[in-house]
A = this chain, B = another copy of it.
Amino acid sequence: MQKLRLKSAEIEKSTHLEFFKIALSVDCVIFGYDKKKLKVLVFESDFEEYANMLSLIGDLVQPEEDLEEAPYRILRERAGLHDVYMEQVYTFGSVSRHPSGRVITTAYFSLVDIKTHKLPASETNLHWHDVDDISQMAFDHKIILDTCLTRLREKILEYPIVFNLLPEKFSLRELQDLYEAILGVELDRRNFRKRITLKNWLVDLNEMEEDVPHRPGKLYKLKKQLKSNGKPLRLKEQNLVI
């Protein structure tokens, strides 16, 4: 690390020794979707105080690593995930939140298509867990999860991000099931289709579902300009990318 010159009014009152004792970590809330259920990628904590409790995937930020890079690295290293949608949500910093000492954590959520992104066999501990079947977690991870879920629910109403949870091609029924799973409500089919049509997010592929046990529906995909590879989208109006 480079030598410190502490001349700012912000820092001059302190010595490094006293202040550079805080660790910064990143915790990743990785959402997936399968069988009409919203999932989150978790593992059973090997931390003494929280043995066998569910834990989010996280790691310390490296000394020479940008904060925004850390969650992407963690997803690569721990879950073999590349090019996923990622968004910073909130930073949690209670003194007592981590039993090992002062660890402040920044929470990110990401959206992953479970079918396309297979988990690495090496990480046998990792698994996709129903979001609405989690009542407690290690550390303050339940609060982190809830905060990210709230943010997700707000965001999907205005921004076309849920498509990161689906395969390239999908039917309107699948899309509606996904919205219902995330929002936890039932939606009227006809009105849902109208709203989605109005947002003008989709392209009709002129293909039909196959191997479904009922009348097949049309398949759609997200418009190319609206695809979010990694970075969160910023939209003006409902279909214009800034």
Query: Does A64 belong to the interface (CB within 8 Å)?
Result: yes
A56 closest partner in B (C-beta): B10
Asked if A101 contacts B1 (CB within 8 A), the reply is: yes
Alpha-carbon separation in the docked complex, A59 to B106 (Å): 19
- Closest CB of chain B to A196's CB: distance in Å? 22
Alpha-carbon separation in the docked complex, A8 to B17 (Å): 24
Asked if B19 contacts A100 (CB within 8 A), the reply is: no
Q: Tell me whether A48 and B5 are in contact in the complex, defined as CB-CB below 8 angstroms, given that A63-B102, A91-B88 are known contacts.
A: yes
- Closest CB of chain B to A204's CB: distance in Å? 32
Query: Does A22 belong to the interface (CB within 8 Å)?
Result: yes
Residues in chain B near residue A2, CB distance under 8 A = 101
Q: Which of A1-54 contact B (CB under 8 A)?
A: 1-2, 4-11, 14, 16, 18-25, 45-48
Q: Which of A77-100 contact B (CB under 8 A)?
A: 88, 90-95, 99-100
Q: Tell me whether A100 and B22 are in contact in the complex, defined as CB-CB below 8 angstroms, given that A66-B93, A93-B66 are known contacts.
A: no
Asked if A14 contacts B60 (CB within 8 A), the reply is: yes
Query: Does A67 belong to the interface (CB within 8 Å)?
Result: yes
Minimum-distance CB pairs A-B, first 3:
A67-B93, A8-B47, A91-B91
